[in-house]
Structure 1
Amino acid sequence: MVVEPDDPTVIDRLTADFTADITRLRDSAERWRNGIAMITGILSAVLVFKGPDPVAGLATPLRVLLFAVVVLAIAAGMTGCFFAIRAAAGLPVVQQRRTTIDALATDQRARREATVRHLHRAIGLSAVMIALLVVSVGLAWFLPRPPAKAPMARMELVDGRVLCGPLVRLDADEVAITVFGEAVVVKRAQVNALSESQSCS
């Protein structure tokens, strides 16, 4: 039996094969979309509930750097979700029935290539997002932070003098504080009262 090039039966069979192929690609795209959306959602939730703790003590330029890396990670994840959705659902367009095998093959090839291209972009952006998350965690852990400030101490001596400054050392025998940039060591027996102070002004 001779099959005509534009036989409707052939066109229907090619359409069925294409539908099965595109369905497989879109199922894969949906799984990628769900995974990227989950990671992006978890990251956003952690940032909301964790607050500024990871950047506490960092200098302002370092805070800006860490914030920029995290924003780029979220942007990469959201863009990846968009391309995964494009691959899974496509765009709402009116599909016209192709009446020739050449037109059908051209249309199917273009749609298949578009789906694969969007899926590859989603996968690439998800890899970028994960890499940026690793970088942001590394920055949060290893960026230098200034040393903690010593608590301010207000010390009243038995002779009536009052000394105030950062506490250097406190043990059973002596109290050492810094007064005007110089360490002052006082015997505990000479201390009448010792308390923490917000400032020495």
Structure 2
Amino acid sequence: MTAVFADDGTVTLRPPGEPSLVKAAEALRLHQAGQLTALRAAADRWTLGVSALIGLTALILPAVGRDVIRTLQPWAQIVTGGLLAVAAAAATFATLWAYRAAYGLPVIRAVDDDASLLNWYAVYQARPVEAASQLRRAIQAALVTVVLLAASVGVAVFGPARPITSAPIQITLSDDSVVCGLFLTSRADARLRVRRADDGAVAVIVVAEVARIKPVKAC
């Protein structure tokens, strides 16, 4: 209804110019009455979806194990570790926001006068908007988590690996002499090529003359 106030104090009530406004206002009132409950029920269901997305971590992380990361070049190790760290943070925020949207926070409010009642009502009216924003951020953070995990796997699997080098070895010959150094590719059968650690020279050793070979930490 529209109230029209005349100069003499007379008040005239007029019906709305658009009859459908009455139905629209009633529909809005009914919708807002159960809005928070419906939104939290939806957020509760979305929480399961967010948890399922983050659960991909259990499937992806084994492909990015410690041994795989150790084979990468240093910059690729840093990138993989950074992606995993940010993914873990995004997963944490996604879970927190999803649960806050679904269940809110336990808060005790004292409502013992008109001012505190109006304050509670203002907070109550703002809850649906806040819950919707939290749910939206949870979904976005979950998607970011999946993208970062996929990127970390990509870097770990397709990133540049460290050059493969042999560990130092110590060869004892049949005459009790010792050669210590790194294995090199041999160009002949029954021959070992070792770059000596003492002078850097390449020693060619006949396999039949080898009495013992053992790896060492350093020559």
Q: TM-score, normalised by structure 2?
A: 0.63
Report the counterpart of residue 111 of structure 1 in structure 2. Answer: 127
- 2: CA distance between counterparts of 1:46 and 1:130? 9
| Aligned equivalent of 1:84, options 87, 98, 103 | 98
Q: CA 1:93–1:41 in 2, change beyond 3 Å: closer, same or farther?
A: farther
Query: Which ranges in structure 2 are unaligned for 5 or more consecutive residues?
Result: 1-25, 112-117
Q: CA 1:93–1:122 in 2, change beyond 3 Å: closer, same or farther?
A: farther
Q: Is the 8 A contact 1:36 1:81 kept in 2?
A: yes
Query: Which ranges in structure 1 are unaligned for 5 or more consecutive residues?
Result: 1-11, 97-102
Report the counterpart of residue 164 of structure 1 in structure 2. Answer: 180
Q: CA 1:95–1:53 in 2, change beyond 3 Å: closer, same or farther?
A: farther
Report the counterpart of residue 176 of structure 1 in structure 2. Answer: 193
Q: Bigger CA drift: 70-79 or 139-148?
A: 139-148
Alignment of 1:32-181 (within 5 A): 32-40=46-54, 43=57, 52-58=66-72, 62-91=76-105, 92=107, 110-169=126-185, 172-179=189-196, 180-181=199-200
Find the structure with the greater CA-based Rg.
2
- State the identity as a percent: 26
- 2: CA distance between counterparts of 1:166 and 1:107? 72
Q: Is the 8 A contact 1:29 1:119 kept in 2?
A: yes
Alpha-carbon distance, 1:164 to partner: 1.8
Aligned length: 182
What secondary structure sits across from 1:154 in the alignment?
Answer: strand
Q: TM-score, normalised by structure 1?
A: 0.68
Q: What per-residue deviation string (whole Å, max 9, x for no partner) do you get for residues 31-87 of structure 1?
A: 322333355466379869x86333213455543432222121111111112221221
What secondary structure sits across from 2:160 in the alignment?
Answer: coil
- 1: CA distance between counterparts of 2:99 and 2:167? 55
CA RMSD after TM alignment:
3.8
What secondary structure sits across from 2:166 in the alignment?
Answer: coil
